[in-house]
């Protein structure tokens, strides 16, 4: 649908744009008092509001289910605070640091694990950013800096370039990874100036696109990604497994294929975090594992993300995909493994069949 090209940031804006029934206005106002609401014109134009199952509508238009909080859910479901040395820094793993220069996004996903923070806090102050960069300079083991937030690509090209150049001056930082939704939510922001800013560090720079459904990869979004890739910036993807959005093999596989066709390597499939008000999005882990089994062998190896869960409490990500190997112990006097192929057939493989030193 074609809409006036303006940011929609109030429930009343959604009603005026035909994206929300007036009968639901009070419900969405209540949600918006607790969690940020912003929708870009590019996303709005992808929506089919008459379809109750539209995957773009469901990801970005609030529902009253977000107000239902379970005891297992948390305002900090992956333990950022445990590993936050100072404002803007999360140092969870020895060789990499998360730098969050801004807590604003182009649009707000209704399943966000930082939903208690994003849209409420703004950018780091100049002093906070200087302190965060000083921390990175002082941590010699840090090989990679991950820019996240919020979404770092909502910042101006000038500010992005300043951060990239500051990181360029840190010799032990060799890789910069930028996580973003902007090529999908606001593809026109990926202009030559912003691309130059991302390349300005001279470091190995990767951009990780967050996309959950093939329809998000519009022509404009794919063109935005091409501007980055053609400039020599490799792209990866991350996807959240969402009930009713991508929790079947056909839909998930279609997304992975269009990502690969766009020259983006699928990286992570995240099991949804235990963020407050997100229970209606979560599937069982066993369902995610079965999806990964279905993708394996039926879709190219390029289309295989790693299925991961971020352990609550700040313990980091662990792969939780299916296992295809089973130790069978001794069979007929020989140690054996049983290996499952992509069709479900099982095969015996001899254990300890390497040549001794």
- pLDDT tens for 86-126 read 999 999 999 999 999 999 999 999 999 998 888 876 889 99
Task: Give the angle subtended at the CA of 41 by the CAs of 39 and 44, to the nearest 5°.
Answer: 70
- Cα separation of 250 and 252, whole Å? 6
Q: How far apart are the first and last CA of the chain?
A: 68
Residue 3: its pLDDT value, please? 47
Query: Does the global pTM surpass 0.85?
Result: yes
Phi, psi at 232, each rounded to 5°: 95, 15
- Cα separation of 198 and 196, whole Å? 5
Residues identified as active-site: 92-93, 96, 105, 109, 112, 114, 273, 310, 317
CATH 3.20.20.70 region(s) of the chain? Answer: 81-319
Neighbours of 24 (CB within 10 A): 17
Residue 353 reports pLDDT greater than 80: no
The average confidence (pLDDT) of the chain is: 94
Residue 335 reports pLDDT greater than 90: no
Residue 2: its pLDDT value, please? 45
- In terms of average pLDDT, the best of 229-233, 295-299, 337-341 is 229-233
CATH of 81-319, one of 1.20.1250.20, 1.10.287.110, 3.40.50.1820, 3.20.20.70: 3.20.20.70
Residue 354 reports pLDDT greater than 70: no
> Which of 69, 331, 319 lies closest to 352, judged by CA?
331
Instruction: Dump pLDDT digits (tens) for 268-299.
Output: 999 999 999 999 999 999 999 999 999 998 99
> Which of 134, 138, 154, 208 lies closest to 176, judged by CA?
208
- Cα separation of 62 and 13, whole Å? 13
CA distances from 176 to 85, 200, 202, 305, 316 (A): 19, 11, 10, 20, 19
Residue 329: its pLDDT value, please? 84
């Amino acid at each position: 649908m074609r809409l006036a090209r303006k940011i929609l940031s109030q429930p009343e804006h959604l009603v005026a744009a035909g994206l929300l029934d007036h009968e639901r206005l009070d419900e969405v106002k209540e949600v918006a008092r607790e969690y940020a609401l912003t929708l870009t014109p590019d996303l709005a134009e992808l929506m089919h509001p008459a379809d109750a199952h539209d995957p773009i509508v469901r990801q970005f238009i609030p529902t009253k289910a977000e107000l239902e909080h379970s005891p297992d859910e948390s305002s900090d479901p992956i333990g950022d605070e445990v590993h936050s040395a100072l404002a803007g820094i999360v140092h969870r793993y020895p060789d990499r640091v998360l730098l969050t220069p801004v807590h604003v996004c182009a649009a707000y996903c209704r399943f966000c694990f930082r939903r208690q923070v994003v849209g409420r806090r703004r950018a780091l102050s100049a002093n906070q950013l200087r302190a965060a960069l000083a921390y990175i300079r002082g941590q010699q083991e840090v090989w990679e800096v991950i820019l996240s937030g919020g979404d770092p690509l909502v910042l101006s090209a000038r500010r992005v370039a300043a951060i990239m150049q500051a990181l360029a001056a840190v010799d032990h930082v060799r890789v910069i990874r930028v996580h973003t939704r902007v090529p999908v939510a606001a593809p026109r922001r990926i202009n030559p100036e912003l691309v130059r800013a991302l390349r300005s560090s001279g470091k190995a720079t990767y951009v990780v696109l967050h996309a959950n459904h093939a329809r998000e990869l519009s022509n404009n979004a794919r063109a935005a990604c091409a501007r980055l890739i053609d400039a020599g910036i490799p792209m990866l993807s991350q996807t959240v497994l969402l009930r009713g959005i991508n929790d079947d093999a056909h839909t998930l596989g279609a997304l992975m294929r269009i990502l690969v066709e766009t020259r983006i390597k699928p990286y992570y499939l995240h099991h949804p975090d235990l963020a407050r008000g997100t229970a209606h999005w979560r599937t069982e882990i066993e369902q995610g594992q079965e999806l990964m089994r279905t993708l394996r062998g039926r879709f190219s190896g390029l289309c295989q993300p790693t299925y991961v869960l971020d352990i609550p409490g700040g313990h980091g990500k662990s792969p939780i995909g299916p296992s295809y190997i089973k130790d069978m112990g001794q069979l007929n006097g020989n140690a054996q493994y049983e290996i499952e192929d992509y069709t479900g057939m099982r095969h015996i493989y001899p254990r300890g069949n390497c040549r001794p030193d």
